[in-house]
Amino acid sequence: MSQAALHIRDLTVGYARPDGDVNEVVWNVSLALEPGTITGLAGESGCGKSTTALAAIGYRSPGTRILGGTSLLDGVDLLKVDTRRLRTIWGRHVSYVAQSATTALNPAIPVGRQLAQPLAVHMGLRGAALRRRQVTLLEEMGLPDPEAALSRYPFQFSGGQQQRIAIAIALSCTPRVLLLDEPTTGLDVTTQARISTLLRSLVSEWGVATLYVSHDLALLGTIADRLAVMYAGEVIEEAAAIAVASRPRHPYTQALIAAVPSAHLGRAVAGIPGRPPAKVVRDSCSFAPRCPHVVDACTVDH
């Protein structure tokens, strides 16, 4: 096994409450992102996936508190680095692709200028060298007529093309780590498949260590190398993606798979009643109130 590009250990995150207390929303999460591989992080909305991904690279939204753990990139703990230094790391060594390219891209700035910003800031490219890099990136993303695309605005592209542009910007400086936060959720099924195939190819070819956050367990089962399932802020199951998808061990993972529509299995979709708790549950199994297999031991203080 190669050395992890980003090693997250015992990450614990909370949100400050108006009364001064802190609600734990992520607890003791450990993940190792290996070069050239995709680690999937699956779970329902509200389970802490995006909070984990952003906190791991040092990003803190208002009210966020890092309560423990480390996140090591080349020996540097991103949880202890100030914002000024983080801005030299983000974009150059660590990149992020948001769920919606429509909101991530600036509608008032041509695509070429948006692609030029990280290349100029982090790699010092100018003039002809900058232009060549821009065109090459859009070619590798499969954009038609990349030369002309540089002068066009985001609204002049389809949703799938906008997402390809967002990926081009994220990969422009050949980062070591890539975070994908539901990057295909707003796209139709055919475009989702094309973007996922492109991402799988780029991750392998460029050797970038990738964390792919998604509620779509079926998608992660096909694209990821390893798969971690998250519930109520904890990783409850982690193994090779094919093992988790085909032989899930935790009742929550089994329920997630049962909730995925399938044209081949000939079974009805089974929804999961209730919703995830709003914070980490320490004194019992967090999934017990929703679990069809619950026994007394699940609700007893451990």
pLDDT tens for each residue of 27-54: 999 999 999 999 999 999 999 999 999 9
pLDDT at 241: 96
pLDDT tens for each residue of 127-137: 999 999 999 99
SS3 per-residue string spanning the chain:
CCCCCEEEEEEEEEEECCCCCEEEEEEEEEEEECCCCEEEEECCCCCCHHHHHHHHCCCCCCCEEEEEEEEEECCEEHHHCCHHHHHHHECCCEEEECCCHHHHCCCCCCHHHHHHHHHHHHHCCCHHHHHHHHHHHHHHCCCCCHHHHCCCCHHHCCHHHHHHHHHHHHHCCCCCEEEEECCCCCCCHHHHHHHHHHHHHHHHHHCCEEEEEECCHHHHHHHCCEEEEEECCEEEEEEEHHHHHHCCCCHHHHHHHHCCCCCCCCCCCCCCCCCCCCCCCCCCCCCHHHCCCCCHHHHCCC
pLDDT tens for each residue of 179-203: 999 988 878 888 888 999 999 999 9
**pTM value?**
0.93
